Amino acid sequence: MENSIHILCTRHLDAQLVESAAAKNILIEEISFIATEPVKTVEVQQEIEYALSLSATVVFTSMNAVEAVATFLLEDDMPDWRIYCIGNTTRQLAKKYFGDHSIAGFAEDAVALAELIVEEGDAEEVVFFCGNKRRDELPDFLRSNDIAIDEITVYETFEVNHKISKDYHGILFFSPSAVESFFANNKSGERTIFFAIGKTTASAIRKFTGNRILLSDEPGKENLVMKMMEYFSG
């Protein structure tokens, strides 16, 4: 469409979001730059099953980790967990599988979540379900405040490299891993606006470009898409 706004989204979106944007003459192209797979080794299975038997403080920093752990849940045997999450989407998924009562707190980024856990002061140890490319901010902060961490890597993230042949008005990123995968083979257009799901993802973008970066007002992919739509239809 002539005079349309062309957007690259680096993960899959609900069709309704894409249609809502198209109604505003904003055309979204979805190309995933990362793929994830759960770790299915016997060792990890045993670690997850043991953790499910504990009364524990648990940390999830992604939906992928929640999904990987939830596959081992028994229908009528919910674990005695106090769960801390990054992002509202991850929190909602944890509530779905583990119950609303299990959610002890959530924050928009790793540092804020670590600070919350320390401030509440009731955890001497946490079980951290993470991916193989997890960042250091949260575990480093907790350890520096004398909180032990049992890390269980429950999924792996792989780069999916694509060479982009056109400039976009805007590009949406939802993780540092996707940022690194994108810039492995691509450069930013001079006028491209970048949209980041949070501060950590924005920091990753700044390593590769000086272009303008806008952050989502609230965590969640829907909120980031709405931020982009408001900016370009503004």
Rounded-to-integer distance, Cα 31 and Cα 10, Å: 5
Q: Which of 86-90, 96-100, 213-217 is the least confident region?
A: 86-90
Q: What ranges do the domains of the chain cover?
A: 5-33+160-233, 37-157
Rounded-to-integer distance, Cα 94 and Cα 60, Å: 8
| DSSP assignments along 160-220, one per residue | ------S--SEEEE--HHHHHHHHTT----TTPEEEESSHHHHHHHHTT--S-EEE-SSSS
pLDDT in tens, 133-151: 888 999 999 999 999 999 9
User: What residues contact residue 95 under an 8 Å CB cut-off, 6+ apart?
Assistant: 102, 103
| DSSP assignments along 55-78, one per residue | EEEEEE-SHHHHHHHHTT-BTTB-
Specify the amino acid at residue 56: A
Domain at 5-33+160-233: CATH code: 3.40.50.10090
Helix, strand, coil fractions of the chain, as percent rounded to 5: 40, 30, 35
Q: Whole-model pTM? A: 0.84
pLDDT level of residue 2 (50, 70, 90 thresholds): low
Residue 47 has which token pair?
């670690």
Residue 29: is its pLDDT beyond 90? yes
DSSP β-ladder status, 103-107 and 80-86? parallel
Rounded-to-integer distance, Cα 8 and Cα 202, Å: 16
> Do the domains at 5-33+160-233 and 37-157 have one common CATH topology?
yes
Q: What is the mean pLDDT of the chain?
A: 93
122 vs 61, more confident: 61
Domain at 37-157: CATH code: 3.40.50.10090
Phi, psi angles (nearest 5°) of residue 227: -60, -45
Burial string for 144-164 (b: 16+ CB within 10 Å, else e) reads: eeebeeeebbbbebebeebeb
Residue 1: is its pLDDT beyond 60? no
User: What average pLDDT score do residues 88-100 get?
Assistant: 92
- Which residue is listed with tokens 């272009």? 211
pLDDT in tens, 112-130: 999 999 999 888 999 999 9
108 vs 47, more confident: 47
Q: Which of 67-76, 93-102, 212-221 is the least confident region?
A: 212-221
Q: Taking a C-beta distance cutoff of 8 angstroms, is the pair 85, 106 a contact?
A: yes
Rounded-to-integer distance, Cα 197 and Cα 174, Å: 5
Give the angle subtended at the CA of 34 by the CAs of 105 and 153, to the nearest 5°.
50
User: What average pLDDT score do residues 156-171 get?
Assistant: 94
